[in-house]
């Protein structure tokens, strides 16, 4: 089945009522038919039919064997970092969502796990930083917010040759455009809050594994059951509803993003545009091979920090807000928002500075978005 079909139907099976919309099972616990018997559902923290339908549908879209729907993207990344033990070494893309950097540096490093940041677009650099105790490579591609493209297939081969896992945060593209597991990734995570939700109204996360019998899956199963990070039933239903329009939304967002990126390139107040769908982007060829779309995120730099702040204040249609992936266009100032706690050294390495703006393109008419950006840039 193709993605557009899978997104609408997922794993939905009709119950005796024939309900087209997935029923919401708002039940915390489930009756046992008799001693030693179960309907397959015992207690809501462990399994709930609505959440399970969502998990199965997302696993199908990512072509993974098993998925867990959790309360946020950070809850999913938290489960991933819990897979490592004291003494393990983990390499991460140096351009990465600030919250992931904070979780690694300020929380998990206290438990004896060693984290190192590397430019994962450079295979030689990554190979040079692999150690005997390297157990994981964690990447974003495109990365947040500099839109760098890393080679998923090559990194998976490198990770496996060293007995490590490749973990891909697929938030920026969604499975509609990129399926890291088909390229060799072991684990995929999402901030489901973003494209998978698409309406800026649910905070959610997903963790998908390639192999449901593997060590990672067994550990995540234990963690999810024991710690209870799971997504609520009602939010699971909202996410199921969101998935139905995933393809329509992201295709329109990507179309708008390309038009805006091309327009930004011509503006005198704009000094750089970062969008992998532009043929001059250094990751264009690789992205064209490993994904079927370029996404709806465009970062750009303006001539001064003062202008960047003025643009944010002058916007009328596009909202100055954190987050991304929704139908409403949002403009973010990464240095003070999503990447506020990023170590100085990483900011310098990636070029994330006070002139950078990150646009999450929505599904509005592109001419209206461009008109808003134009009046904000011109003042």
Ligand X SMILES: Cc1ncc(COP(=O)(O)O)c(C=O)c1O
CA distance 72 to 56: 18
Q: Can residue 74 be called a binding residue for ligand X (CB under 6 A)? A: yes
Which CB, 7 or 140, lies closer to ligand X? 140
List the one residue out of 138, 126, 190, 142 whose CA is nearest residue 167: 138
Q: Can residue 99 be called a binding residue for ligand X (CB under 6 A)? A: yes
Please answer whether residues 165 and 136 qualify as being in contact, where contact means their C-beta atoms are separated by less than 8 angstroms. Answer: yes
Q: Which residues contact 81 (CB under 8 A, 6 or more apart)?
A: 90, 103, 104, 107, 108, 113
Q: Can residue 50 be called a binding residue for ligand X (CB under 6 A)? A: no
Which part of the chain contacts ligand X (CB under 6 A), choosing from 71-79, 228-236, 302-310, 356-364? 71-79
Q: Can residue 205 be called a binding residue for ligand X (CB under 6 A)? A: yes
Least separation in angstroms between CB 74 and ligand X: 4
What's the Cα-to-Cα distance from 120 to each of 155, 299, 321, 322, rounded to whole Å?
8, 19, 28, 25
What's the Cα-to-Cα distance from 47 to each of 40, 338, 340, rounded to whole Å?
8, 33, 36
Q: Which residues contact 330 (CB under 8 A, 6 or more apart)?
A: 200, 318, 319, 320, 321, 322, 323, 324, 359, 360, 362
Find the angle CA(243)-CA(334)-CA(307) to the nearest 5 degrees. 120
Least separation in angstroms between CB 19 and ligand X: 29
User: Of the residues 97, 108, 195, 274, which is catalytic?
Assistant: 97
Q: Can residue 88 be called a binding residue for ligand X (CB under 6 A)? A: no
- Pick from 72, 93, 350, 360 the residue near ligand X by CB under 6 A: 72
Which part of the chain contacts ligand X (CB under 6 A), choosing from 67-75, 278-286, 303-311, 342-350? 67-75
Question: Does residue 169 carry a catalytic annotation?
Answer: yes
What's the Cα-to-Cα distance from 156 to each of 136, 183, 270, 284, 286, rounded to whole Å?
10, 8, 36, 20, 15
Q: Can residue 93 be called a binding residue for ligand X (CB under 6 A)? A: no
- In degrees and rounded to multiples of 5, residue 291 shows phi and psi of -140, 165
| CB neighbour burial string for 128-140, b if at least 16 within 10 angstroms, e if fewer | ebbeeebbbbbbb
Question: Does residue 42 carry a catalytic annotation?
Answer: no
User: Looking up tokens 């809850």, which residue turns up?
Assistant: 75
Q: Can residue 191 be called a binding residue for ligand X (CB under 6 A)? A: yes
Q: Can residue 22 be called a binding residue for ligand X (CB under 6 A)? A: no
User: Of the residues 88, 169, 186, 372, which is catalytic?
Assistant: 169
Q: Can residue 144 be called a binding residue for ligand X (CB under 6 A)? A: yes
Which CB, 277 or 295, lies closer to ligand X? 295
Q: Can residue 239 be called a binding residue for ligand X (CB under 6 A)? A: no
Q: Can residue 332 be called a binding residue for ligand X (CB under 6 A)? A: no
Least separation in angstroms between CB 324 and ligand X: 6
Q: How many residues does the chain have?
A: 379
Which CB, 191 or 290, lies closer to ligand X? 191
Question: Does residue 358 carry a catalytic annotation?
Answer: no
CA distance 363 to 235: 23
Question: Does residue 97 carry a catalytic annotation?
Answer: yes
- Pick from 10, 49, 64, 73 the residue near ligand X by CB under 6 A: 73
Which CB, 93 or 134, lies closer to ligand X? 93
Which residues are the active-site residues?
Answer: 45, 97, 169, 194
Binding footprint of ligand X on the chain (CB under 6 A): 72-74, 97, 99, 140, 144, 169, 171, 191, 193, 203, 205, 338
């Amino acid at each position: 089945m193709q993605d557009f079909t899978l997104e609408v139907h997922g794993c939905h099976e009709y119950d005796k009522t024939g309900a087209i919309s997935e029923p919401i099972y708002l039940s915390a616990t489930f009756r046992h038919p008799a001693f030693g018997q179960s309907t397959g559902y015992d207690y809501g923290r462990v399994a709930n039919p609505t959440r399970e339908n969502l998990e199965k549908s997302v696993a199908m879209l990512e072509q993974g064997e098993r998925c867990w729907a959790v309360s946020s993207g950070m809850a999913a990344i938290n489960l991933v970092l819990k897979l490592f033990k004291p003494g393990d070494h983990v390499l991460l893309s140096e351009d990465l969502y600030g919250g992931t950097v904070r979780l690694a540096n300020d929380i998990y490093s206290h438990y004896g796990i060693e984290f190192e940041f590397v430019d994962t677009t450079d295979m030689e650099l990554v190979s040079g930083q692999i150690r005997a105790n390297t157990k994981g490579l964690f990447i974003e591609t495109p990365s947040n917010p500099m839109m760098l493209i890393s080679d998923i297939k090559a990194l998976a081969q490198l990770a496996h040759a060293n007995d490590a896992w490749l973990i891909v945060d697929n938030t920026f593209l969604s499975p509609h455009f990129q399926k890291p597991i088909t390229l060799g990734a072991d684990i995929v995570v999402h901030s489901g809050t973003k494209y998978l939700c698409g309406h800026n109204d649910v905070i959610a996360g997903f963790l998908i594994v390639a192999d449901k019998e593997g060590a990672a899956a067994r550990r995540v199963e234990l963690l999810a059951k024991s710690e209870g990070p799971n997504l609520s039933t009602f939010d699971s239903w909202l996410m199921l509803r969101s998935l139905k329009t995933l393809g329509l939304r992201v295709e329109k967002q990507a179309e708008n993003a390309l038009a805006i990126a091309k327009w930004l390139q011509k503006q005198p107040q704009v000094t750089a545009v970062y969008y992998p769908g532009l043929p001059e982007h250094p990751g264009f060829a690789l992205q064209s091979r490993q994904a079927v779309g370029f996404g709806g995120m465009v970062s750009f730099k303006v001539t001064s920090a003062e202008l960047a702040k003025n643009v944010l204040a002058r916007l009328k249609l596009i909202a100055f807000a954190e987050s991304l992936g929704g139908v409403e266009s949002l403009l973010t100032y990464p240095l003070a928002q999503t990447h506020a706690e990023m170590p100085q050294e990483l900011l310098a390495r990636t070029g994330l500075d006070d002139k950078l703006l990150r646009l999450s393109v929505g599904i509005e008419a592109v001419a209206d978005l461009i008109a808003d950006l134009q009046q904000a840039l011109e003042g």
